[in-house]
């Protein structure tokens, strides 16, 4: 995928050599799943999507298999074994690239999965003028200096910035700076290494989405689950004389009604199945079996409300629903506002999140002959915060 305003060629290093066990468990955090795929894969894919010509990944010794599995199917990446410290790992990756073919390099942490493209652009653009560029954010809270748990002073937040990665460098400058580094064995980051060699480091706007994944809470189920899920539902009931016609929770005057074990409201049944489908909770028959006498003649609104509560229990809120009713008669239009209001009420949604549509089948098939009504629904759910 090529960026809309193409960047000059750049390569990237992802430092993933940490043991990363602070989050608990035996697997280093960079290889554990986070929002549907291994944490490291998010940053590597983002860099490749945004145009990196190659991504060199520093991993712990012995983690080759875990890394290959986490990155399966990706091209244009290469693994190197990292060192004792983050700085050693960055330097080893840089040394492995010292063949004269690299001019710009981004050095990134595996633990920052969301990399907005705009940040990459700001960084790479700066290298026309500066030897290095880093994304920073302002400090919004006031700052206390502490000693032994007691406040001993304050720091001027206006003069301070929070530093993120990726950090961008002219390749020759950052490699030379790492080779010349005489400071502690673990510099805070690569910008400090460049600065120690009198390199110029520009600041660009960072992004809160570049937040570092560090703590156990970041790997809680609600954090690792997909942000969005969808479900679809489909239902049919027979039209019979002498039955009430309930559609979308609204009683509609008509010469026939839908027959079934409950009130046979196909619209609410399709919606119920869509919600259950979105969170993998089976179908309406799983929860309200027709063999159970307590559901005889039951109003279907309770099925839908129950499905929504199961979705909530799974950590998801319904974002929007789109329902299509398929019948020749009755005309749905006059009842649409009432149905929309009732579906919104049952699902705890704003009416703008509820779409109700209707179509005929041109007098074809069972719906065309007026023998029954069909409904289909699709639902999007989002991870509740």
Nearer residue to Mg ion within complex by CB, 189 or 235:
235
Distance in Å, CB of 291 to Mg ion, minimum: 14
Nearer residue to Mg ion within complex by CB, 8 or 290:
290
Distance in Å, CB of 64 to Mg ion, minimum: 53
Residue nearest to Mg ion (CB): 269
Nearer residue to Mg ion within complex by CB, 147 or 291:
291
DSSP type of residue 213: P
Residue bearing tokens 């010794």: 61
Distance in Å, CB of 65 to Mg ion, minimum: 49
Distance in Å, CB of 166 to Mg ion, minimum: 53
Report which of 190, 198, 178, 9 is spatially closest to residue 92, judged by C-alpha positions: 178
Report whether 306 contacts 347 (CB < 8 A).
no
Report whether 233 contacts 371 (CB < 8 A).
no
Quote the CA–CA distance of 367 and 179 in Å, as a whole number.
76
Distance in Å, CB of 269 to Mg ion, minimum: 4
Q: How many Cβ atoms from other residues are within 10 Å of residue 106's Cβ?
A: 26
Q: Is residue 41 at the binding interface for Mg ion, with CB under 5 A as the rule?
A: no
> What's the Cα-to-Cα distance from 228 to each of 74, 120, 271, 278, rounded to whole Å?
24, 26, 17, 9
Nearer residue to Mg ion within complex by CB, 54 or 235:
235
Q: Is residue 190 at the binding interface for Mg ion, with CB under 5 A as the rule?
A: no
Nearer residue to Mg ion within complex by CB, 130 or 295:
295
Among the listed ranges 64-72, 178-186, 269-277, 351-359, the one in contact with Mg ion (CB under 5 A) is 269-277
Quote the CA–CA distance of 307 and 305 in Å, as a whole number.
5
Please list the residues that pair with 167 across neighbouring strands. Answer: 107
| Pairing relationship of beta strands 250-251 and 201-205 according to DSSP bridges | unpaired
Nearer residue to Mg ion within complex by CB, 235 or 281:
235
The phi, psi pair for 114, rounded to 5°, reads: -95, 110
Quote the CA–CA distance of 173 and 54 in Å, as a whole number.
19
Select the residue interacting with Mg ion from 131, 235, 273, 342 (CB under 5 A): 235
Q: Is residue 269 at the binding interface for Mg ion, with CB under 5 A as the rule?
A: yes
Among the listed ranges 11-19, 30-38, 249-257, 264-272, the one in contact with Mg ion (CB under 5 A) is 264-272
What residues line the site for Mg ion (CB under 5 A)?
A: 235, 269
């Amino acid at each position: 995928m090529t960026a809309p305003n193409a960047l000059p060629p750049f390569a990237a290093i992802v430092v993933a050599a940490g043991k990363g066990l602070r989050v608990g468990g035996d697997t280093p955090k960079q290889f554990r799943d986070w929002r549907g795929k291994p944490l490291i894969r998010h940053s590597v894919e983002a860099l490749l999507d945004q145009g990196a010509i190659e991504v060199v990944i520093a991993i712990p010794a012995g983690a080759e298999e875990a890394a290959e599995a986490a990155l399966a199917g990706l091209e244009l990446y290469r693994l190197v074994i990292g060192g004792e410290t983050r700085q050693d790992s960055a330097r080893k990756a840089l040394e492995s690239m010292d063949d004269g073919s690299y001019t710009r390099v981004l050095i990134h942490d595996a633990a920052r999965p969301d990399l907005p493209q705009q940040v990459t652009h700001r960084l790479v653009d700066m290298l026309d003028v500066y030897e290095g560029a880093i994304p920073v954010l302002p400090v919004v809270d006031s700052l206390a200096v502490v000693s032994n748990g007691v406040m001993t002073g304050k720091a001027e937040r206006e003069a301070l910035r929070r530093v993120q990665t990726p950090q961008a460098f002219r390749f020759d400058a950052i490699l030379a700076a790492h080779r010349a580094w005489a400071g502690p064995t673990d510099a805070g980051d690569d910008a400090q290494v460049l600065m120690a060699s009198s390199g110029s480091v520009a600041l660009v706007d960072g992004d809160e989405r570049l937040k570092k994944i560090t703590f156990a809470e970041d790997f809680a189920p609600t954090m690792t689950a997909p942000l969005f899920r969808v479900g679809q539902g489909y239902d049919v009931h027979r039209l019979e004389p002498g039955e009430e016609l309930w559609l979308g929770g609204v009683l509609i005057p008509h010469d026939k009604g839908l027959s079934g074990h409950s009130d046979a409201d196909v619209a609410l049944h399709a919606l119920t199945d869509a919600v259950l489908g979105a969170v993998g909770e089976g179908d309406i028959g799983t929860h309200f079996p027709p063999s159970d006498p307590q559901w005889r003649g039951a109003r279907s609104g309770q099925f839908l409300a129950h499905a929504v509560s199961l979705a909530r229990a799974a950590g998801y809120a319904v974002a929007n629903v789109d329902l299509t009713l398929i019948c020749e008669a009755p005309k749905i239009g006059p009842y649409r506002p009432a149905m929309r209001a009732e579906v919104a009420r049952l699902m705890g949604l704003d009416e703008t999140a509820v779409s109700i549509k209707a179509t005929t089948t041109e007098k074809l098939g069972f719906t065309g002959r007026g023998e029954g009504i069909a409904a289909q629904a699709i639902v999007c759910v989002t991870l509740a915060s």
